[in-house]
Structure 1
Amino acid sequence: MLKKLVLIVLTIIAIPLIVAVFTENSYEVERSVIINKPKEKVFNYIKYLKNQNFYSKWAQMDPNMLKTYRGIDGQVGFVSAWNSEKEDVGAGEQEIIAIDEGYRIDFELRFLKPFKSTDPAFMVTEAVDDNTTKVVWGFSGHMDYPMNLMLLFIDFEQVIGDDLQTGLNNLKAILD
């Protein structure tokens, strides 16, 4: 009987681990919004990470979080860091790693708590016409084995996508 119980427990543990081997371990999310301002004005606003405090859903989740900055905002190497007592906000930092002036800004997000992860993100501006700009905000995530099993149960594309869209809608409200 003990032998059967051990076999059942091992099977229960092994099945999810085997499934995780065949489960995707990354995801990509992009959302966009149309803003009724020229591309240059929109880009010159989004390239400054401190401005995310006014439109990013994540930056607004804890008004008491500690925010620190290193470097010159709007330039490669600038780091915006946060630390919150709220578990869903946690601690981490975002660094500007590349700027294609007037078009694209690339970030590296380094989450420190409640979990450690380093993921890329970006924002792109595209002129629709002289006075209208499309802004695309994208994020890529990776989950190591066996944590990638969570991708079967949580729709990260939807959850993160909704947060990106909220931020973009806030950005539109500010700039329109």
Structure 2
Amino acid sequence: MHVVFIILAIVAALVVLLLLAAAFTKSEYSVERQVTINKPVSQVFGYVRYLKNMDKYNKWVMVDPQMRKDYRGEDGTEGFAYAWDSDNKAGQGEQVIKKIDNGNRVDVQITFIRPMKAVSDSYMETIPTIDNGTIVKWGFASKMPYPANAVMMFMDMGEMLGKDLEISLNNLKTILEKQP
């Protein structure tokens, strides 16, 4: 009985320590990656403003080709919603175009339902280069609620998400540079 009490006390102390550490750990994170595409801004922005086009380059969407999708509104316009539901790693959620600065930027709010509830803000920005190419910046910002933010002590969300953004942006580059 004495050993069980000691084990329970150690477990309780570890939980309290983790909760205290989470109270002092950042809860917000953001990540941005970019790629240069050898196509003019008009062509690149004309492609990325449509959320349905993500099916062709977004690593997360490509995880489950069988996922169920639902759309509301007109793609490429403010208010358009793209919902997904997957029995695979993609989980369930919805993204909504919140704002479009035509030719420059698309702001999207992503609501994750499964595997974990969260809300993230995302954007894609297109910037012309001097040689008629386009820099595409893709960014995410989110917040992990307490005490779930404790996981940020052990993993770098920016690095983890950044790799997937790089893969997706390189897919986008390949697709657009093949177009006439």
Q: Does the pair score TM above 0.5? A: yes
Partner of 1:117: 118
Root mean square deviation, CA, Å: 1.3
SS in 2 for 1:160: helix
Partner of 1:49: 51
Kindly tell me the number of residue pairs found equivalent between the two proteins.
175
Cα deviation for residue 159 of structure 1 reads 1.1
Letter in 2 for 1:174: I
Counterpart CA distance in 2 for 1:36 and 1:115 is 37
Counterpart CA distance in 2 for 1:141 and 1:44 is 26
Which of 19, 22, 26 is the matching residue for 1:20? 22
Which of 66, 69, 85 is the matching residue for 2:68? 66
Counterpart CA distance in 2 for 1:56 and 1:102 is 20
Cα deviation for residue 9 of structure 1 reads 3.2
Cα deviation for residue 10 of structure 1 reads 2.4
Cα deviation for residue 154 of structure 1 reads 1.7
Cα deviation for residue 18 of structure 1 reads 0.6
Counterpart CA distance in 2 for 1:60 and 1:6 is 44
1:1-176 to 2 correspondences below 5 Å: 1=2, 4-86=6-88, 88-129=89-130, 131-176=132-177
Counterpart CA distance in 2 for 1:123 and 1:16 is 36
Cα deviation 1:76-127 (Å, max 9, x = unaligned):
00001111001x2101011000000000000000101111111100000000
Counterpart CA distance in 2 for 1:134 and 1:169 is 12
Cα deviation for residue 6 of structure 1 reads 4.7
Q: Cα distance 1:18–1:63, how it changes in 2: closer, same or farther (>3 A)?
A: same
| TM-score of the superposed pair, with normalisation by structure 1 | 0.95
SS in 1 for 2:162: helix
Counterpart CA distance in 2 for 1:8 and 1:174 is 55
Cα deviation for residue 8 of structure 1 reads 2.8
Cα deviation for residue 4 of structure 1 reads 4.9
Counterpart CA distance in 1 for 2:52 and 2:77 is 12
| TM-score of the superposed pair, with normalisation by structure 2 | 0.93
Moved segments of 4+, more than 2 Å: 1-10
Counterpart CA distance in 1 for 2:54 and 2:9 is 52
Counterpart CA distance in 2 for 1:3 and 1:36 is 66
Cα deviation for residue 156 of structure 1 reads 1.1
